[in-house]
Amino acid sequence: MRITILSLVAFMFLATPAFAHFGMVIPDSNVATQDTRSTNLTLSFSHPFEGAGMTLEKPKQFFVVTSGKKTDLLSSLTETSVMNEKSWKTAFRFKRPGVYQFVMEPKAYWEPEEDCFIIHYTKTYVAAFGSEEDWDAPAGVATEIIPLTRPYGLYAGMSFTGQVLKDGKPVANAEVEYELYNKDGYKAPSEHHITLVTKTDSNGVFTVTCPKAGWWGFAALTTADYTLTSPEGKEKPVELGAVTWIKFENFEK
């Protein structure tokens, strides 16, 4: 009887879904105008639909790319709290038109439940002063999602298409998880409705539709060709995430 109960508990544990992790880079707005020439950004690590935060140590890199120019912003970060966990914030002022990609490379995160390290190369976009140039330009990180749909000016219910790159090359059959940053407290009908999943085609391209307004995160997952040493001294695999945050808006009257 004891063995049966233990077996049942083990089965229930294994059957419990491992909810997705997302690196997050979220600005106040994804559009800057002459009236709103600056934005505040928060950098965090979480389960965004559930509102469950995790500790984010100060990132390895944080920078902005616009018009092919990369500017280091790491020293501008100050510590804050998002979802009751250690996170980071900064403010940025836009001086000229352009599409600005804000990019975070975190330090490797050890996840004992998944027996691997996690590194999520995370980015988002802000279009300043009506710019329409270079919104599909790569940021040049190890793995990333290149938008094939303009990554701003989107309505809820529209589709988003992206291409997953790793080392600059398309990744076929990659799993892409996507999830709403659930600030409004929506309830999911089942655990399968929390993290949605699709896959890329032979050219590394995927298309999904986002039904609710808000920030949506897309995480394309691959495995690194290297290992890292766990706290127990063992070599463990590294999950690489190409993460992009896109905002969808409601129509206004």
pTM, entire model: 0.90
Per-residue confidence of the chain (253 residues) as pLDDT tens digits?
444 444 443 444 334 445 688 999 999 999 999 888 899 999 999 999 999 999 999 999 999 999 999 999 999 999 999 999 999 999 999 999 999 999 999 999 999 999 999 999 999 999 999 888 899 999 999 999 999 999 999 999 999 999 999 999 999 999 999 999 999 999 999 999 999 999 999 999 999 999 999 999 999 999 999 999 999 999 999 999 999 999 999 998 8
pLDDT at residue 19, as a whole number: 65
pLDDT at residue 131, as a whole number: 81
pLDDT at residue 18, as a whole number: 55
pLDDT at residue 12, as a whole number: 40
pLDDT at residue 132, as a whole number: 84
pLDDT at residue 16, as a whole number: 42
- What are the chain's domains? 19-249 (2.60.40.10)
Both tokens of residue 22? 């997302």
pLDDT at residue 10, as a whole number: 42
Both ends of the chain: CA-CA distance in Å? Answer: 64
Long-range Cβ contact pairs of 167-172 (< 8 A, separation 24 or more): 167/142, 167/143, 168/138, 169/204, 170/200, 170/203, 170/204, 170/205, 171/143, 171/200, 171/204, 171/220, 171/222, 172/200, 172/201, 172/202, 172/203, 172/204
